[in-house]
Amino acid sequence: MSEKLELTVKKKSDLGWSAREAAVRKIANSSDELNELLQYLNEDENEFADTRAKAGNLLKSLLSFDFVCFINFWSEILHKINFVEKRLQSPNMNLRETAAALDALKQDLTNGRDNICAVSVQKGLRLEETGDISTEKRVRLKRRMPGDNSSDAGMSMKDEINRVMKQALDTLSQQLQDHSKRIQYINYLFGFLLDVTSLIGREQESGDVMHHCANFAAVYESDVNGLSLQQDIRDCRMLSRKRKNSEIELPSTPEASLKATIQYGKDVFPNLRTALKILRTMSVSVASCERSFSKLKLIKTYL
Model pLDDT for residues 125-173, shown as the tens digit of each residue? 887 777 566 555 544 555 555 655 544 445 688 889 999 999 999 999 9
DSSP H or E stretch at residue 28: helix 17-29
pLDDT reading at 17 higher than 80: no
Higher pLDDT, 231 or 292: 231
pLDDT of residue 173: 94
pLDDT of residue 202: 64
d(CA 165, CA 117): 6
For residues 9 and 52, is the Cβ–Cβ distance under 8 A?
A: no
- Residues 76, 66: Cα–Cα separation, whole Å: 16
Cα–Cα distance measured from residue 230 to residue 136, given in angstroms and rounded to the nearest whole number: 69
CB 232 within 8 Å of CB 269: yes
Looking at residue 7, what DSSP letter applies?
-
| pLDDT on residue 165 | 95
Cα 141 from Cα 133, distance rounded (Å): 22
pLDDT of residue 291: 46
Q: How many residues does the chain have?
A: 303
Asked whether 17 and 85 are in contact (CB, 8 A), the reply is yes
- Please list the alpha-helical segments (H only) found in the chain: 2-5, 17-29, 31-43, 49-62, 65-88, 95-111, 113-129, 157-194, 196-201, 207-219, 226-244, 254-262, 270-280, 294-302
pLDDT (tens digit, 9 = 90+) per residue, 83-131? 998 888 887 788 888 889 999 999 999 999 999 999 999 988 887 777 5
| Mean pLDDT value across residues 262-284 | 85
Task: State residue 240's pLDDT score.
Answer: 77
Q: Confidence band (pLDDT; 50, 70, 90) for 293?
A: very low
Element (H, E) at 154: strand 154-155
- pLDDT of 272 reads 92
Question: Each residue of 223-255: pLDDT tens digit?
Answer: 999 999 999 988 888 887 766 555 566 777 888
The single-letter DSSP state of residue 288 is G
Structure confidence by residue, pLDDT tens digits, 184-201: 998 898 988 888 877 776
Please compute the mean of the pLDDT values over residues 74-78 and round it to a whole number: 93
Long-range contacts, stretch 99-103, CB < 8 angstroms, 24+ apart: 99/180, 99/183, 99/184, 99/187, 102/176, 102/179, 102/180, 102/183, 103/176, 103/177, 103/180
Mean pLDDT of the chain: 80
Provide the whole-model pTM.
0.72
